[in-house]
């Protein structure tokens, strides 16, 4: 009896959730509009190997992912650093970036890679907390985006900031805001 009573409510749920978000059609963004910053471990960092990952494979996945994000039309900066660094180093990169035409535009999204978020190591969990706090204080309006492997940051960015146009085909790829430290 109870389950029959619940059914109409459950059927109704998706519609009511959509209304709550106030977005019946998701907002679309344009090529070169969105500024994103991702941080993670440098691929050859000892804590990458300590988690059983192959540094060369992680390096290749990160590079391909970064190239793909720009092809998708996003302006990207990647900051790779490990927990031996002071978190203020990351904070120092959170200043307002400029788009290709020199217009200042605060970070639209920030992200932290799977080597930090997915690790089962105490040291990296503490670092993950510090990174999240740095993003919350340094770029408070930007959603913090998560991927699920070293090569899926593009998936995370696309989820948050869908662009309908094929920016690569249109010759309108994202700009290189990258200050990578591939050490
Ligand atoms: C990190 O840097 C800040 C500012 O430069 C300093 O106040 C703080 O003591 C440093 N923390 C560590 C653990 O070195």
Do the domain assignments include residue 109? yes
Mutate to test the pocket of ligand 1, among 88, 91, 127, 130 (most ligand atoms within 8 A of CB): 88
Instruction: Judge whether 87 lies within some domain.
Output: yes
Ligand 1 centre from 87 Cα, in Å? 8
Distance from residue 41's CA to the centre of ligand 1 (Å): 20
| Boundaries of domain holding 154 | 31-160
User: How many structural domains comprise the chain?
Assistant: 1
Confirm whether 182 is domain-assigned: no
Question: Does residue 65 fall inside a structural domain?
Answer: yes
- pLDDT score recorded for residue 177: 61
Q: Which tokens is 90 given?
A: 């990351």
Alpha helices, H only, the chain: 2-21, 46-49, 55-71, 87-91, 114-117, 122-138, 153-160
User: The domain that contains 134 carries what CATH number?
Assistant: 3.40.50
The residue whose C-alpha atom lies closest to atom 7 belonging to ligand 1 is 88
The widest CA-to-CA distance across the chain, in whole angstroms, is: 63
Distance of alpha carbon 91 from alpha carbon 110, whole angstroms = 12
Domain-located, residue 93? yes
Q: What letter would DSSP give residue 43? A: T
Residues of the chain with pLDDT under 70: 1-26, 99-100, 176-183
CA of 84 to the centre of ligand 1 (A): 12
Residue 46 lies in a domain: yes
Instruction: Please indicate, yes or no, if residue 11 is contained in any of the structural domains.
Output: no
Specify the pLDDT at position 97. 81
The 10s digit of each residue's pLDDT in 128-166 is 999 999 999 999 999 999 999 989 999 999 999 999 999
Query: Which residue's CA is the closest to the ligand 1 atom numbered 12?
Result: 86
Within 6 A (CB) of ligand 1 lie: 86, 88
Report the nearest-CA residue for atom 3 of ligand 1: 88
Q: Rounded to the nearest 10 degrees, what angle do helices 55-71 and 153-160 cross at?
A: 30
* φ and ψ at residue 18, rounded to 5 degrees: -60, -40
C-alpha gyration radius of the chain: 19
Tell me, yes or no, whether 91 lies in a domain.
Answer: yes
Atom 14 in ligand 1: residue holding the nearest Cα: 86
- What's the predicted TM-score (pTM) here? 0.81
């Amino acid at each position: 009896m109870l389950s029959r009573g619940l059914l109409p409510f459950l059927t109704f749920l998706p519609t009511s959730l959509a209304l709550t978000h106030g977005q019946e059609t998701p907002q679309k963004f344009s090529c070169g509009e969105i500024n994103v910053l991702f941080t993670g471990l440098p691929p050859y960092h000892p804590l990458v190997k300590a988690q059983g990952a192959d540094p060369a494979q992680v390096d290749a996945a990160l590079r391909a992912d970064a190239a793909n994000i720009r092809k998708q039309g996003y302006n990207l900066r990647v900051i790779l650093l490990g927990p031996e660094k002071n978190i203020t180093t990351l904070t120092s990169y959170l200043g307002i970036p400029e788009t290709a035409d020199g217009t200042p535009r605060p970070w639209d999204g920030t992200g932290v890679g799977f080597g930090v978020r997915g690790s089962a190591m105490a040291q990296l969990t503490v670092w993950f907390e510090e990174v999240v706090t740095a993003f919350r204080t340094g770029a408070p309006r930007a959603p913090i985006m998560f991927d699920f492997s070293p090569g899926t940051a593009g998936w995370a960015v696309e989820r948050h900031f869908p662009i309908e146009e094929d920016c690569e085909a249109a010759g309108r790829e994202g700009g290189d805001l990258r200050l990578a430290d591939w050490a």
